[in-house]
């Protein structure tokens, strides 16, 4: 009697405990149930109805896209309609202006044997402009950076990269800031433009190249246009955000004084939002630099060419040195625009004496710059960058030798890491996602979307999956999705570990944050170079490079969430005797779950953009299809289908994680759509 009673009581307690666990985390248990059922179904249906096609197959959809691209290209080349004439005319004008800039700084205009302005004048102009907008401290960064471009052997390519970047940014700001102002003052305009910006900022940079190469051919015109279009969304969105956050009390006070709308905009709103707008310009510069580098795939001028050529030939030393110049340019531009955002505050603190001194220095600097420009125009020594000291050749050789040493002495170790990771982690996940029948995978993804993000995520996912199915690249999309999920899982683990440490310790934050800032200035395929040296071209390389690229933004978001947990809550947990581990796992991480999901969102999108670029180094999937569309004209249609599929994949992942973050209670700062390109400094993460 007593034994039976005890057994029954224990059973009831266990059932109550299970029920309590299910009630505490219903969505987590629902997700686990979906995955378990998926694995069971996959185990008996593996390899069936996967919709896999060979790399040479072109379906009817791909043929239709091929015909469409050819028709559009013919219309633009023949300028057979008004839209084609306007767009082509604009592209030709951009190309002509850029050619003039090249003749001014980097290319000899016939019959002159040298550019109009040489290295001395270029550095003097850069120093003067930097002093004017950012102060003398930034001059101490900019001038050595320009000298390093020359000493590393890439003066012309570096200046070309800066020209295409800054020229595109100028046009982007002229068009983007007024549109941002309009969005801030009109809900209707904002409702129309915001979804377009969402799609543009969800698209990986690599996807932009193929349609622009079809429209404008291969060369500088296409590179300028794609850089301009890619770089415009951040300045639009952040300008609108800055104007929306202007203090309403200040606006009411100006209205009471009888100011008109234009006066209020020019004299109040824009000055108060100036710092945020400059941060938007910073984001646009980083986006433009990233795209200007990648645009080398369509023969865009600049540093991207030696990087890609080195990767193709296995000359990693060449790629490394050119990539180092890209990093130097990125850090230089990032630091300069960041300093410019606080320049007006520093000028106010300097007082009248400081302003007079600054005007005197500017006047003297202008005279010195004019002299330097004249000398570089008439003197060969001031025009051609000196050949010595040559830092590039020894560095290039050292990297090549180091790579050879690594492959000779550590190849077994790196191969072991790669093989074990692939065999025990990557292959099983890919087998589940890609080797399940397509309808099983689709149902599983739909259920996961519904559990994580609710009805809105379910609808968006259904539309995206239908599009992926209709584009006849389901299997390749699932291969790419596998790489994205695996890389994102690694990113989230690293971000949680580092982010928790940063959020709990100011010392750790001060030590790690500069590294994250530097990491976020690096254009996309630069992380490929060191990983290629270690592991060679394969899926694993693309995943590790994607992890390196995505960790900084995810880590900052986690740290921001951990730091946002109220001190009162932490004190309450400590008063109950909670250990450090319990405080992290039971209090801080659960309360920061919105930030964790947002970190996952950003990690997914950064990883997706990098995994696509990994198609050029053996990652396969949709990235390979896009690269093939560049290289072989008969596969342009399939390349376009791959590009659209990647966009749908990105939108699907973005919607699931964004709506999931909203359900988890993300902070109001992040309820507005983030700039999905580089560091969202305006959100307080810097």
Confidence at residue 140, expressed as pLDDT on a 0 to 100 scale: 92
Better pLDDT: 604 or 630: 604
State whether 473 and 591 are in the same domain. yes
Quick one: 430 and 320 in the same domain? Answer: no
Q: 3-state secondary structure string, 484-518?
A: HHHHHHHHHHHHHHHHHHHHHCHHHHHHHHHHHHH
Closest CA to 161 of 616, 523, 518: 523
Same domain, 72 and 159: no
Q: Report the number of distinct structural domains present in the chain.
A: 2
Residue 366 belongs to some domain of the structure: no
- In this predicted structure, what is the pLDDT of residue 24? 55
**Omega of the bond leading into 621 within 30 degrees of 0 (cis):** no
**pLDDT bracket for residue 671 (50, 70, 90):** very low
Contacts for 593 with CB less than 8 Å, ≥ 6 apart: 664, 665
Which pLDDT value is given to residue 352? 67
Q: What is the pLDDT of residues 510-524, one digit of tens each?
A: 888 888 877 777 777
Do both 466 and 320 map to the same domain? no
Looking at the fold, whether 196 and 297 belong to one and the same domain comes out as: yes
Domain boundary residue among 307, 342, 377? 342
Mean pLDDT of the chain: 83
Pair 333, 425 in one domain: no
Q: Which of 342, 368, 385 represents a domain boundary (last residue)?
A: 342
Question: Is there a single domain that holds both residue 434 and residue 333?
Answer: no
Tokens of 251: 């606006």
Q: What is the mean pLDDT of residues 430-443?
A: 94
> Percentage of residues in the chain with pLDDT exceeding 70?
89
Answer yes or no: do 437 and 528 share one domain. yes
pLDDT tier at 12, thresholds 50, 70, 90: low
Q: Considering the domain boundaries, does residue 183 fall inside one? A: yes
Tokens standing for 57? 């197959």
Whether 373 maps to a domain, the answer reads no
Residues 308 and 454 in one domain: no
- What confidence tier does 676 reach under pLDDT thresholds 50, 70, 90? very low
Lowest-pLDDT range of 108-112, 303-307, 314-318, 675-679 = 675-679
Q: Is the pTM of this model over 0.85?
A: no
Q: What is the CATH number of the domain that holds 190?
A: 1.10.3720.10
Tell me the per-residue pLDDT of 57-115, one tens digit each, with 9 for 90 and over: 888 999 999 888 888 777 777 666 777 778 778 888 888 888 899 999 988 887 888 88
Structural domain contains residue 192: yes
For residue 674, pLDDT over 80 is answered with no
Q: Worst-scoring range by mean pLDDT, 214-228, 420-434, 594-608, 609-623?
A: 609-623
Residue 644 lies in a domain: yes
- Give the mean pLDDT of 375-397: 89
- Cα angle, residue 640 at apex, residues 639 and 643 outer, rounded to 5°: 90
- Dump pLDDT digits (tens) for 647-670: 899 889 988 988 887 776 643 333
Check whether 129 has a pLDDT greater than 80: yes
Tell me what the mean pLDDT of segment 308-316 comes to. 81
pLDDT at res. 83: 74
Give tens-digit pLDDT for 539-588.
Answer: 888 888 889 888 988 898 888 888 888 888 878 878 877 788 888 888 88
CA nearest to 233, candidates 187, 169, 184, 295? 169
Query: Are the C-beta atoms of 44 and 435 separated by less than 8 Å?
Result: no
Query: Which residue has better confidence, 330 or 466?
Result: 466
* Structure-block tokens of residue 131: 């002093």
Phi, psi (deg, nearest 5) at residue 168: -65, -40
Q: How does pLDDT run across 186-228, given as a tens digit for each residue? A: 888 888 888 888 888 777 777 888 888 877 777 888 888 888 8
Return the pLDDT at 568.
80
Lowest mean pLDDT among 138-142, 164-168, 358-362: 358-362
The fraction of the chain above a pLDDT of 90, given in percent, is 22
More confident residue, 179 or 601: 179
Judge if 495 and 617 occupy the same domain. yes
Within a domain: 351: no
Q: Is the dihedral of CA 435, 438, 440, 441 positive or negative?
A: positive
Q: What is the pLDDT of residue 22?
A: 52
Q: What is the pLDDT of residue 681?
A: 34
Q: Answer whether residue 119 is part of any domain.
A: no
| Burial (0-12, 13-18, 19+ Cβ within 10 Å), 389 | exposed
Residue 7: is its pLDDT beyond 80?
no
Range(s) of the domain holding residue 482: 24-42+50-80+410-686
- Whether 69 and 160 share a structural domain: no
Average pLDDT of the segment spanning 491-516 = 88
Do residues 532 and 661 share a domain? yes
pLDDT of residue 442: 95
Residue written as token pair 């309009």? 182
Nearest to 431 by CA among 47, 57, 59, 65: 47
Q: Quick one: pLDDT at residue 685?
A: 37
Average pLDDT for 222-240: 88
Residue 638 lies in a domain: yes
pLDDT at 493: 93
Give yes or no for residue 252 having a pLDDT over 50. Answer: yes
**pLDDT tens figures, 316-373:** 888 889 988 988 998 898 888 888 877 766 666 666 677 788 888 889 989 999 999 9
Domain end call among 342, 370, 387: 342
Q: Is the pLDDT of residue 154 over 80?
A: yes
Q: What is the arithmetic mean of pLDDT over 466-494?
A: 92
pLDDT value of residue 278: 83
């Amino acid at each position: 009697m007593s034994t039976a009673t005890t057994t029954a009581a224990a059973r009831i307690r266990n059932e109550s405990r299970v029920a309590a666990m299910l009630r505490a985390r219903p969505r987590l248990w629902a997700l686990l149930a979906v995955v378990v059922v998926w694995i069971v179904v996959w185990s008996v249906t593996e390899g069936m109805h996967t919709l896999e096609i060979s790399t040479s197959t072109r379906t009817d959809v791909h043929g239709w896209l091929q015909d469409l691209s050819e028709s559009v290209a013919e219309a633009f080349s023949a300028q057979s309609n008004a839209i084609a004439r306007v767009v082509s005319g604009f592209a030709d004008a951009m190309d002509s202006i850029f050619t003039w800039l090249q003749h001014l700084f980097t290319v000899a205009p016939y019959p002159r044997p040298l550019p109009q302005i040489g290295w001395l004048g270029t550095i003097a102009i850069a120093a003067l402009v930097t002093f004017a907008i950012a102060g003398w401290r930034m001059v101490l960064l900019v001038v050595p950076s320009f000298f390093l471009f020359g000493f590393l052997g890439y003066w012309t390519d570096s200046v070309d990269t800066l020209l295409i970047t800054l020229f595109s940014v100028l046009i982007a700001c002229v068009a983007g800031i007024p549109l941002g102002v309009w969005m801030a003052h009109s809900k209707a305009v904002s409702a129309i433009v915001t979804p377009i910006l969402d799609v543009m900022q969800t698209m990986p940079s690599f996807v932009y190249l193929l349609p622009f190469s079809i429209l404008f051919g291969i060369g500088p015109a296409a590179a300028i246009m794609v850089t301009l279009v890619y770089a415009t969304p951040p300045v639009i969105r952040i300008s609108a955000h800055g104007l929306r956050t202007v203090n309403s009390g200040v606006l009411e006070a100006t209205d009471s004084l009888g100011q008109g709308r234009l006066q209020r905009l020019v004299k109040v709103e824009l000055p108060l939002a100036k710092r945020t707008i400059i941060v938007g310009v910073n984001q646009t510069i980083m986006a433009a630099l990233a795209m200007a580098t990648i645009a080398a795939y369509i023969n865009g001028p600049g540093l991207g060419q030696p990087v890609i050529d080195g990767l193709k030939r296995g000359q990693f030393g060449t790629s490394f040195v050119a990539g180092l110049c890209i990093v130097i340019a990125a850090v230089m531009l990032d630091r300069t625009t960041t300093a410019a955002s606080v320049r007006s505050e520093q000028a106010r603190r300097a007082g009248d004496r400081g302003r007079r001194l600054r005007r005197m220095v500017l006047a003297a600097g202008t005279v010195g710059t004019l002299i330097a420009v004249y000398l570089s125009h008439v003197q060969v020594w001031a025009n051609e960058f000196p050949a010595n000291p040559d830092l590039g050749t020894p560095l290039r050789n050292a990297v090549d030798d180091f790579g050879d040493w690594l492959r000779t002495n550590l190849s077994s170790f790196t191969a072991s890491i790669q093989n074990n990771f692939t065999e025990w982690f990557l292959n099983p996940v890919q087998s589940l996602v890609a080797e399940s029948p397509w309808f099983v995978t689709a149902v599983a993804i739909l259920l996961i979307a519904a559990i994580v993000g609710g009805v809105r995520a379910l609808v968006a996912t259904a539309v995206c999956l239908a599009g992926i199915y209709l584009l006849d690249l389901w299997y390749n999309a699932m291969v790419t999705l596998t790489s994205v999920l695996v890389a994102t899982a690694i990113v989230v683990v690293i971000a949680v570990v580092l982010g928790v440490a940063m959020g709990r310790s100011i010392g750790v934050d001060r030590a790690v944050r500069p590294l994250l800032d530097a990491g976020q200035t690096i254009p996309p395929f630069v992380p490929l170079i060191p990983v290629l040296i270690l592991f060679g071209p394969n899926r694993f390389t693309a995943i590790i490079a994607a992890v390196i690229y995505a960790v900084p933004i995810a880590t900052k978001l986690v740290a921001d969430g951990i730091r946002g947990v109220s001190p009162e809550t932490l004190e309450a947990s400590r008063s109950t005797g909670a250990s450090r581990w319990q405080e992290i796992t039971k209090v801080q991480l659960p309360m920061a779950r919105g930030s964790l999901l947002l970190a996952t969102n950003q990690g997914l999108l950064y990883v997706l953009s990098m995994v696509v670029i990994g198609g050029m180094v053996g990652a396969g999937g949709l990235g390979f299809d896009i690269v093939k569309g560049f290289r072989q004209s008969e596969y342009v249609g399939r390349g376009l289908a791959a590009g659209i599929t990647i966009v749908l994949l990105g939108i699907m992942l973005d919607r699931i994680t964004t709506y999931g973050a909203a359900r988890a209670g993300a902070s109001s700062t992040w309820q507005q759509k983030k700039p999905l390109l580089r560091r969202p400094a305006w959100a307080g993460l810097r």
